[in-house]
Structures are given as C-alpha cells and as structure tokens.
Structure 1
Amino acid sequence: MFYFTFLGFLCIILDNVSSQATSGVVNGAFYLCLPTGTVCPTVGGGTNTIDPRIVTPTGTVTPNVCPAGSTPCFGTNTACGTRFITPNMTTPGSASFGAYPWQAYLRNATSAYAGSGVLISPYYVITAAHKVYLNVNTPTAVTVLMGVYNPVNLVNVQTSTVTRIAVHPSFVASTLINDIAVLQLTQPIVLGIYTNINTACLPAAGTTFVGQQCAVSGWGQSAFSIFDAPSNPQRQIFVSIVNYATCRASFAQANLLANNVDMYLDPNGEICAGGVAMIDACTQDGGAPLVCPSTTNVYSIAGLVIWGKNCGQQNVYGVYVSVPFYLAWIQSQMTTPAG
C-alpha cells in the first residue's frame, strides 16, 4: 500500500494468546476470555461493567463462560468512530498504533493476508465483495482479526471466523460494480477492552464527503509492481474526495479507460479520491476503509477501497465503494445474534 520509498515485507502471521481468545455475550454483556490472573484492561479509564462472578436477577449463578484456565473480562460501551490515542494525522507513512481501531485484517484458507474491512458493530464487518464472494458457501474459511498493527507481532488482537457472508445481490465481479459485502462474525469483538479496537460509524444516508480530506489505512503493496504485502506496520495516507465529473474525466482519457469508462465507473455506488502522485491505496488494499472526520473528530466510513489504474499516478483517482449509498442494504443484513 502507498507511496514513495516505504517498503513492506511478505510475512507469516503469528498467533498469540489474545488473538485466539474466546469471546461471547451473556446476560446482554460482551466478554473476552483471558488467562486467569490477567488484569482486565479497559479503554478510556473505564471500569468493567460486570464482575466475572455473575448473578442474575433471579439469584441464580451464571455458569463459567470461559474455558479452563481463563476468566471473562467484560467490555464497556464505546462511541463509534473514536480513537483512544492521539495519532500522527499529518504525515503519510507508518500509522500510529491504535490510529485505525476499526480496521479489520482478513485471512482466508489460501492467504495469511487477504485484504481489509471495517468493524461496524461487535458482530459485523463490511468489506469489498471481491475479497470474499468466492467464500459465500464456505464462510468459516474467512477469519477476521481486529487490532492488527504489525502483522508479525499481534498485540491485543481479537479474532473470529465468519459465519455468514452477504454479498450485494447486484455485485458484478468482472467490473466491480456493487462491490460490497457484510460479514457476520461467529463470536463478537468485545469493545472497551483494548485501545486499538473500536467500531467506525456508518454515515447517514445521502451524506456527501466531496471536498473533504479523509484517511485510508492498510497493509497493501507499496507500489503496483512491488509484491510486499502485508506491509509492516500498518500505513496511512490522506486523500481528498472529488466529484464524479472530475473522476470520470480522468478515467475517460485514452490511456486509461477511454470509451469503457461508464462500464466500470458507477456514478451512484462509487466515489473517487486522491489523484496525487505517490499517495494512493494499492493492490491488496481491497476493502480498506476510507474514513472522514467530523468537526469533533468522530470518524465515519465514506468508502471502501475497490479499484484503480496502477497506483499513485498524478490525476488518476482511487475508486471506492460509496458506503452512504449502500446504507439501507448494509443495515438490512445486520440481525443481531442472540446472546
């Protein structure tokens, strides 16, 4: 992913205890099982909402929900789109640890790194459909890791397999039209435990982000012909969102899409950003979130990385799924699992 001389390294992902921890929900509270004796961490100076020795209103004791040798740590409610650190948000390059707590790191049966997504609730991640559509009938082959920063040193990471993949019914793999999918997780991501894990906010329907400078992060290639994904550590760039006419005019050039521009570029379901030399998302960044801040620095999801022409060319834009356009469909796929 991205820019000038930054190089990543092809690497094998190593598991640690936290990345394999069990999580769930009991009596309406989300918990993460950590080794017995662990001091339960919380973000923002909060406290655990429930003591691990749960007693229901009827006076009955809830059975131990964690495997032997582990104890439940209970999460807290966190506001979407908020960070629990003060990151470097001016310099493209390596991101700060915890700067993008909503970014999901995807694996599948054939790749230790298969792309990105974004956490929108404890049980749901959205991503580009082209990253997961081949696993619609084998969803458990896809694994979501939350909290990844350095792929070879997983610190405070939570992991879940996927139990259901909902691909947009009008997705076209050959042109990447309607390139969006919702992943339902097998076990929840527990919020309020670690400072490097949170949700991003879904935007209101019809929101336009044109003219805003927004952030893209990920672990993709550093250049179109440099096969160094996943990068180490996570990287970031900042791009401005342009209107459709500007984007179309660029891609209609003879050396880009020419007369095929309207076959690939969707004026409703896609947005464009970037166009600055050497500042761009790149191959293997598919599904990575494009997030935009409010005046109070609460981040909403404007888009998801889907395609481009080469990487980082001047006046050639990156193309993203327009998340506001698909808001109703996304919400229709979210049916909270019973706890």
Structure 2
Amino acid sequence: MGLFFRVHRCGAVCGRPKYQYPSARIVGGTTTHYGQWPWQVSLRQWRTATFLHKCGAALLNENWAITAAHCVDNVQPDDLLLRMGEYDLATDEEEFPYIERKVQIVASHPQFDSRTFEYDLALLRFYDPVRFQPNIVPICLPPPSEVDFVGRTAFVTGWGRLYEDGPLPSKMQQVSVPVINNSDCENMYRRAGYVEHIPNIFICAGYADGKKDSCEGDSGGPMVIQEENSWVLAGVISWGIGCAEANQPGVYTRISEFREWIDKIIVF
C-alpha cells in the first residue's frame, strides 16, 4: 500500500489510528503518543503576522473538519487555517509532516446561540482534499439513533491550557473523563452555585471532584469513545466554568443529535 492508505468515503477505516498504543484545553491529563489521535486538528486564526492556534477541531473526511461554532463566530474563512497531523507545536521534526489547508466554507449551525452556546457546532470545508496518512485519519461519526454514552469513558484531546490561566503545552495532551447524564450534570453545577439548563443537545463528562478537564484552547476539539475496533466522535468541546473545578464538568455538543445536519452538508 505504500506510504499512504485510503479511507473510504463511507468511513470504513475511520477512527482507527495507524499507530497502536495501550488503552487529555487539558487539565490533569497526560502527553499523548505521536499519531495516537490522528483526527485531531489545530484550528488556527490569523493574528497580525501569522496563524496561531485558537481551538481544536476533528477531521471528518478528506474535505471537511468539525469544530465549535463559537470558535469561528464572526471570523472570515480567509482568517482560518487547519493544521492536520500536528503533534508537537514546537518542532517540525516528526515522522510524517503535518498538512495545512485554508478554510473555504464555514457552515455554523443556523441555531447557534452565542449566549447559551446551544447548537455550538460548525463544519469547515477546506480547499483541496487532504490525503490520509498515518498521522492524518478521520474520526467516525456515531449513529444518529439515541446514544447517551452514560457511564462510558471518553477521551478529550488538544493543546489547551494545562490549568486555568496556565501555560499552553507544545505536545498534544489527553485526558479520560466519564460521561454523566444531563440531569446529574445540572445538579453538580447547582452544588457549585450555578443554575444551568443543559438540554440533550449537550453531553457532559467529568468528575465530581474536578481535577481532570478540558480548558481554554481546547474548545472545538473532539471527545471520542471507543466502539469495538474504532473510535467515534461523541462530542465537540463546547463550554465549562473554569477548568477542572469540583462539580463543574465539561459540556460538549452531542454529535448524535446532529447527524442529519452534518450528513446533509459534508456530501459537498
């Protein structure tokens, strides 16, 4: 097969890293291995003289990536860049090169509410399809049927801050967090002094005592869960209050609720 391998449009080989390891904005997590999460994308925005990392995103197929709508709200496509296959932001000396693509189309969900963060999802079509390689593999989408994932262990990845107001790491981080049901999530926030309405378009994950969470710079990145032999995109990092605080779990856009909307767009 040579250096490159093909992932069919139907996603037959999605969600399967080429590199195998035993089975992280990231607080309380660990540094990932190179190529461990090959669908992770660095969404970058033009700042004065260069493109700088702003949010995470996930690769869906050879033409599209997915992120949070709040990451691209009021940003022109020309000011966005997707870097795929990245691992260590501080070096270009890696086994396979990263690939960059300018964004052609930003398709934010039409019901996105910047006040409540409901419908916090955006699809990004880039110029020129990307060719898959061991460090660039798309993530699988979950079935559109009702999947709550409660009690399952999810993994969150990105280059976000290591703690609130803390430094940004150069290497991709990961953290594992348990999925909790939305009413428990609301009750936890209430114990922390916040009254939050968390409808089913969101999915929550985290610990009552905090300590592990996503953080600033991770927004828009993937929350994935392993299903048999592949990983599926259960959520996209949306919002939280603080980072890894007790009774303040991370809140993610629930992808299974948006399959019909996603499927209609990414055929183009």
Q: Same fold (TM over 0.5)?
A: yes
Rounded to whole Å, the distance in 2 between the matches of 1:92 and 1:250 is 22
String of CA shifts for 1:237-267, please: whole Å, max 9, x gaps.
00110011110101123x4323xx12xx2x2
Shift, 1:88, TM fit: 4.7
Alignment partner, residue 177 of structure 1: 118
Q: How many residues align?
A: 253
The question of whether the paired residues in 2 share the 8 Å contact of 1:116 and 1:127 is answered with: yes
Deviations 1:29-71 (A, max 9, x none): xxxxxxxxxxxxxxxxx237xxxxxxxxxxxxxxxxxxxxxxx
Partner Cα separation in structure 1 for residue 188 and residue 148 of structure 2: 20
Q: Does structure 1 retain, via aligned residues, the 8 Å contact 2:7–2:14?
A: no
| Matching residue of 2:227 | 294
Partner of 2:254: 322
1:233 to 143, 166, 171: 171
Counterpart of 2:7 in structure 1 is 77
From 131, 139, 161, the equivalent of 2:71 is 131
How far apart are residue 89 of structure 1 and its match? 3.7
Percent of pairs identical after alignment? 27
* Unmatched 5+ stretches in structure 2: none
Q: Choose the corresponding residue for 1:306, options 232, 238, 241.
A: 238
Secondary structure, in 3 states, of the residue corresponding to 2:60?
strand
Q: How far has the Cα of 1:77 moved from its partner?
A: 3.1
* Aligned partner of residue 184 in structure 2, secondary structure: helix
Q: Map Cα deviations across residues 208-258 of structure 1 (whole Å, 9 max, x no partner).
A: 2111101111000011121x22x11110000110011110101123x4323
Q: C-alpha separation between the residues in 2 aligned to 1:114 and 1:247?
A: 27
CA contact (8 A) 1:117 1:125 kept: yes
* 1:157 correspondence with 2:157: no
Match of 2:180 in 1: 242
In structure 1, how many angstroms separate the alpha carbons of the residues matched to 2:7 and 2:228? 22
Contact 1:223 1:282 in 2 (8 A): yes
Question: Which residue pairs with 2:157 in the alignment?
Answer: 217
1:280 corresponds, among 204, 213, 218, to 213
Measure, in 1, the Cα distance between the counterparts of 2:126 and 2:256: 22
TM-superposed deviation, 1:108: 1.0
CA distance in 2, matches of 1:277, 1:207: 25
Give deviations 1:110-157, integer Å, cap 9, x for gaps: 25111110001000001000001212xx21211001011001213320
TM-score, length of structure 2 as denominator length = 0.89
The one-letter amino acid paired with 1:215 is: F
| Structure having the higher Rg | 1
Q: 1:209, 1:189 → 2: CA distance?
A: 31
Partner of 1:198: 137
Out of 74, 79, 83, the position equivalent to 1:145 is 83
Q: Distance in 1 between matches of 2:78 and 2:141?
A: 25
Residues 1:102 and 2:39 are matched in the alignment: yes
3-state SS of 2:213 partner: coil
How far the C-alpha of 1:102 sits from its partner, in A, is: 0.3
Counterparts of 2:32 and 2:154, CA distance in 1: 14
Root-mean-square deviation (Å): 1.8
2:129 corresponds to: 188
TM-score by length of 1: 0.71
Q: Separation in 2 of the partners of 1:319 and 1:172? A: 15
> 1:219, 1:256 → 2: CA distance?
29
Structure 1 runs of 4+ aligned residues shifted over 4 Å read none
How far the C-alpha of 1:287 sits from its partner, in A, is 0.6
